[in-house]
Amino acid sequence: MSDMRELYQEMILDHHKHPRNFGRLTGANRHAEGFNPLCGDRVTVYALVDGDSIRDLSFEGSGCAICMASASVMTDELAGKSVDDAEQLFVKFHDLVTGESAKEPDLDVLGKLAVFMGVREFPVRVKCATLPWHALRAALKDGEKAPVSTE
Amino acid sequence: MERETGTMTRIAKPTIDVAAVRRDFPILAREVHGKPLVYLDNAATSQKPRAVIDAVSGYYESANANVHRGVHTLSVLATEMYEGAREKTRALVNAAETAEIVFTRGTTEAINLVASSFGQARVRPGDEVVISAMEHHSNIVPWQLLCQRAGAKLRVVPMEKSGDLRLDEYRKLLNERTRIVAVAHVCNSLGTVNPIAEMIAIAHERDIPVLVDGAQAVPHFRADVRALGADFYAFSGHKMFGPTGAGVLYARRALLETLPPYQGGGDMIASVTFEKTTYNVLPHRFEAGTPDIAAAIGLGAAIDYMDALGSDAIEAYEGELVAYAVDALSSIPGVTLVGTPKHRVGVVSFTIEGVHPHDAGMILDHEGIAIRAGHHCTQPVMDFYGVPATNRASFAFYNTRDEVDRLVGAIAKVREVFKS
């Protein structure tokens, strides 16, 4: 069970039970839906973007604890950051959960996002953690296009 | 092929020596994450007994050749084994003749064959096809495709909250435009056993043929196509202890004879010129190309294995086991059963309060327990119950009460991790 606790950290369980920034964002000017047809996880990310700055973020949807907590922590961490910062954090987060990068994860930069490090031990769950990020990137890039899929 | 079957002789009171049966299934001895495997995903695919594994490898080691092709010894032998499996399959479902048994890749291909060929012959713009609210996607999408092609309409028999079909509504749906009814014998996500004989009789009052998806029925009880009155009956070998790659379409001869070919190719023809092709006799007309010979032979071995256990014994044993599982799971606080059908076999779907099935499925896996977490290819059923997914435990005659207890104990661990 210890490896389960590695994955399901307290913070993840907390964000799953009490998701932050949940619901449609008033005044959002970007949104995109992420959908994983394999498991049915579905997340819509809303963003209020002002020039290069992400003023505010929210999400809604349904899915497993990893997916919901990832969306919750992501929206908490990225609100107020620039679009470029978000993109860089996406790359670092992706490396963190896949374990693909040879480099040690940059925990200082990742901050609270580092809580998802346990995911790298469970390759089938990587898509759960990254789905909200793919939706966010689609929202920032195209705004109103078709849903993104992790399959 | 015959070894280790001595423990399976029938005795007066039908029962199963489950310890002996488990020794017949090599995979059941393995561990997962350091714990003895508890395999409760039988509705997805069943495990295979040694007799089936040996039948497949024995065929490749001593008889491999193409069927219906040559005069040489191996081809004759392979043909005998392949056609022998067809005869066993005929006997399993009590079809009148082997000409009514078409081998396919699986249930999905069998349904697609009927949707395509029957659809081409009989379904016209404005016609209707009736399915039910609890169908597997494989008994929805082929009919949707047919309806789109033909300009026909898909009608759906609704169900009760219990997971039982509404026969009153079913009666009302049938009319002079209904060309075919396609319905599951057993629902793969709820375990409901539908009153198929009655549903067929109702359709036959209006001369409407019925296709029965028997994929979740044949692993659990004897389906007699003539007693049921089924016009088409589709099932998969791999869910009934046979290999993947061999499925079955039973079709009543009078109907099958009227259907155009499904796929063209070798084996389904009598003669070919560039001007005209005449087709082979039934059932070969519907088996274009080299079939999965080894899988069909393996299916024959699986039928022998189930026959040796006896369908009465299988039904009696599983009936008690599933009732035990329903009781055990429904008495866990926070666990809710999805579907409480009047007559159930094989399957128990449930949700755990505050825990998504994918999280539960993963924690259970770490306890060595394989269940299915997801929509089970029945998204309309999930929508009906307002859940994105369920946990599904599905049983076979080699499962035990101890395994149900392991599942119950592991669900407690899930709730511990989630503090739910």
- Find the closest chain A residue to B377 by CA distance: A38
Mutate which of B359, B392, B413 to test chain A, going by most A C-beta atoms within 10 A? Answer: B359
What percent of chain B has a predicted confidence (pLDDT) above 70? 97
pLDDT grade for B1, boundaries at 50, 70 and 90 = very low
pLDDT grade for B11, boundaries at 50, 70 and 90 = very low
B412 interfacial to chain A (CB closer than 8 Å): no
B172 interfacial to chain A (CB closer than 8 Å): no
User: For B268-314, what is each residue's pLDDT tens digit?
Assistant: 989 999 999 999 999 999 999 999 999 999 999 999 999 999 999 99
The three-state (H, E, C) secondary structure of chain B, written as one string: CCCCCHHHCCCCCCCCCHHHHHHCCHHHHCEECCEECEECECCCCCCCCHHHHHHHHHHHHHCCCCCCCCCCHHHHHHHHHHHHHHHHHHHHHCCCCHHHEEEECCHHHHHHHHHHHHHHHHCCCCCEEEEECCCCHHHCHHHHHHHHHHCCEEEEECECCCCCECHHHHHHHCCCCEEEEEEECECCCCCEECCHHHHHHHHHCCCCCEEEECCCCCCCCCCCHHHHCCCEEEEECHHHCCCCCCEEEEECHHHHCCCCCCCCCCCCEEEECCCCEEECCCCHHHCCCCCCHHHHHHHHHHHHHHHHHCHHHHHHHHHHHHHHHHHHHHCCCCEEECCCCCCECCEEEEEECCECHHHHHHHHHHCCEECEEECCCCHHHHHHHCCCCEEEEECCCCCCHHHHHHHHHHHHHHHHHHCC
Is residue B3 predicted with pLDDT exceeding 90?
no
Q: Give the type of residue at B4.
A: E
User: For A45-76, what is each residue's pLDDT tens digit?
Assistant: 999 999 999 999 999 999 999 999 999 999 99
Contact A64 B356 (CB under 8 A): yes
pLDDT grade for B7, boundaries at 50, 70 and 90 = low
User: For B367-419, what is each residue's pLDDT tens digit?
Assistant: 999 999 988 888 899 999 999 899 999 999 999 999 999 999 999 999 999 98
> Of A25, A78, A102, A65, which Cα lies nearest the Cα of B420?
A65
**Spatial distance between the Cα atoms of B16 and B299, rounded to a whole number of angstroms:** 21
Is residue B263 predicted with pLDDT exceeding 80?
yes
Residue B70 is predicted with a pLDDT of 80
**Spatial distance between the Cα atoms of A44 and A138, rounded to a whole number of angstroms:** 10
Nearest to A40 among B354, B355, B389 (CB): B389
pLDDT grade for A148, boundaries at 50, 70 and 90 = low
Least confident window among A90-104, A118-132, B112-126 = A90-104
Is residue A145 predicted with pLDDT exceeding 80?
no
Mean pLDDT within A22-28 = 95
Higher-scoring residue by pLDDT: A151, A143: A143
Annotation marks residue B147 as catalytic:
no
ipTM above 0.90, yes or no: no
Contact A125 B366 (CB under 8 A): no
Higher-scoring residue by pLDDT: B183, B15: B183
| Crossing angle between the packed helical segments B293-309 and B311-330, to the nearest 10 degrees | 80
Residue A105 is predicted with a pLDDT of 81
User: For B200-224, what is each residue's pLDDT tens digit?
Assistant: 999 999 999 999 999 999 999 999 9
User: For B303-347, what is each residue's pLDDT tens digit?
Assistant: 999 999 999 999 999 999 999 999 999 999 999 999 999 999 999
Mutate which of A1, A4, A17, A36 to test chain B, going by most B C-beta atoms within 10 A? Answer: A4
User: For B107-159, what is each residue's pLDDT tens digit?
Assistant: 999 999 999 999 999 999 999 999 999 999 999 999 999 999 999 999 999 99
Domains belonging to chain A, first-starting first, are: 2-149 (3.90.1010.10)
User: For B95-106, what is each residue's pLDDT tens digit?
Assistant: 999 999 999 999
Domains belonging to chain B, first-starting first, are: 6-49+310-418 (3.90.1150.10), 54-307 (3.40.640.10)
Contact B358 A128 (CB under 8 A): yes
Mean pLDDT within B175-198 = 98
**Spatial distance between the Cα atoms of B291 and B100, rounded to a whole number of angstroms:** 17
B149 interfacial to chain A (CB closer than 8 Å): no
Residue B38 is predicted with a pLDDT of 98
Mutate which of B351, B362, B382 to test chain A, going by most A C-beta atoms within 10 A? Answer: B362
Mean pLDDT within A31-48 = 91
Residue B14 is predicted with a pLDDT of 78
A125 interfacial to chain B (CB closer than 8 Å): yes
